[in-house]
Amino acid sequence: MKVSNLIFCFMTAAVMSFVLGGCGLTSGNDSADIAVAIDEVEEQYDISLKLKNKALFPGGVSCDVTVTCEDLPDEDLRVFRFDEYSDAQCDYIYVKYGDQAYESICEVIHSVLPDAKVVVEESGYNHFYGSMYDKNTTLDFYLQNNMFKIDTVIYGEYTEDEIRALYNELAALLTDNGIDSYGFSIYVMDSEDAVNKVKTYEHMPDSQAYRGITGEHTRIFASNNLDRLSEYVAKFDDPDELNIVFK
């Protein structure tokens, strides 16, 4: 190799090292930091984890790794910690209970609307919850304390009053069955074909995967959509406080 080419290679490597280091792409995932984060998650949930692989570019965060869990041998979990001042995060509860929670929600809605399509978005960022859950968290607790957004998609000839009554019926039924949520919407599509085109999942999709309901429709939702569904149902005794939005 010519000396000039050799010098060029060294200079290129030095520049790349500087750029990547400045962007934080080559820092993070130190073995000691990973061990601390995994220990925190194991203690929080009383589980045993084993490191599977590290994020290729952790972006300067303290820990971003994939692990396996003895309790969930067929699943991968993610352990994340931003820095030494932050709590370690893990999607353990979502992975453990997500499918069961989805099935419970579908069962309630399908008891009234057997042909409805149901999408349940678990909208917590990467399913990380900090101290919201721990080793004592049960499926029942998860169903009542969560960041679910429930979309129900149907087709039919409904008056506005009928849709309003249907919304209230389902809202009450969900909460009566111990299911709460941050958002609950009914989409009445303009045709059966529009319903068929709605993408659904056999589980709760990641926020990045779910792009919402598309197609011609009328949407109905509680105006307190960012509050708990249970708070909406609690206003049934004072109808003047109820405000359902159509759009």
pLDDT digit string, tens, across residues 117-151: 999 988 776 788 778 899 999 999 999 999 899 99
Supply the pLDDT for residue 14. Answer: 40
Looking at every residue in the chain, the average pLDDT score rounds to 84
Q: Are residues 139 and 201 in the same domain?
A: yes
pLDDT bracket for residue 221 (50, 70, 90): confident
Q: Are residues 217 and 238 in the same domain?
A: yes
Task: State how far the Cα of 132 lies from the Cα of 142, in Å rounded to an integer.
Answer: 10
Say if 58 falls within a structural domain.
yes
pLDDT in tens, 27-63: 789 999 999 999 999 999 999 999 999 998 888 899 9
The tokens describing 149, both together, are 């957004």
Residue 7 scores a pLDDT above 50: no
Q: Are residues 154 and 187 in the same domain?
A: yes
The domain boundary, picked from 90, 117, 133, lies at 90
Say if 203 falls within a structural domain.
yes
Q: Are residues 61 and 151 in the same domain?
A: no
Say if 168 falls within a structural domain.
yes
Instruction: Please report the sign of the dihedral spanned by the C-alpha atoms of residue 96, residue 102, residue 108, residue 114.
Output: negative
DSSP the chain: --HHHHHHHHHHHHHHHHHHHHHTSS----HHHHHHHHHHHHHHHT--EEEEEE-S--TT-SEEEEEEETTEEEEEEEEEE-STTSPPEE-HHHHHHHHHHHHHHHHHHHTT-TT-EEEEEE-SGGG--GGG--TT--HHHHHHSS-EEEEEEEES---HHHHHHHHHHHHHHHHHTT---SEEEEEEESSHHHHHTS---SSPPPTTT-----SSEEEEEETTTTS-HHHHHGGGGSGGG--EEE-
Say if 166 falls within a structural domain.
yes
Q: Are residues 113 and 46 in the same domain?
A: no
CB 191 within 8 A of CB 233: no
pLDDT bracket for residue 10 (50, 70, 90): very low
The domain boundary, picked from 68, 90, 112, lies at 90
Which domain, by its residues, includes 203? 93-246
Supply the pLDDT for residue 211. Answer: 67
The residues, ordered by sequence, that sit 6+ positions from 207 with a Cβ below 8 Å of its Cβ are 121, 122, 123, 125
Task: State how far the Cα of 195 lies from the Cα of 68, in Å rounded to an integer.
Answer: 38
Name the phi and psi angles at 77, rounded to 5: -120, 160
The domain boundary, picked from 42, 74, 90, lies at 90
Q: Are residues 69 and 157 in the same domain?
A: no
Q: Are residues 126 and 72 in the same domain?
A: no
Say if 6 falls within a structural domain.
no
pLDDT in tens, 158-187: 998 899 999 999 999 999 999 999 889 999
- Number of domain units in the chain: 2
Supply the pLDDT for residue 245. Answer: 83
Supply the pLDDT for residue 21. Answer: 42
Q: Are residues 100 and 161 in the same domain?
A: yes
pLDDT bracket for residue 19 (50, 70, 90): very low
Q: Are residues 126 and 229 in the same domain?
A: yes
Q: Are residues 30 and 73 in the same domain?
A: yes
Say if 15 falls within a structural domain.
no
Task: State how far the Cα of 148 lies from the Cα of 123, in Å rounded to an integer.
Answer: 6
Residue 8 scores a pLDDT above 50: no
Q: Are residues 37 and 115 in the same domain?
A: no
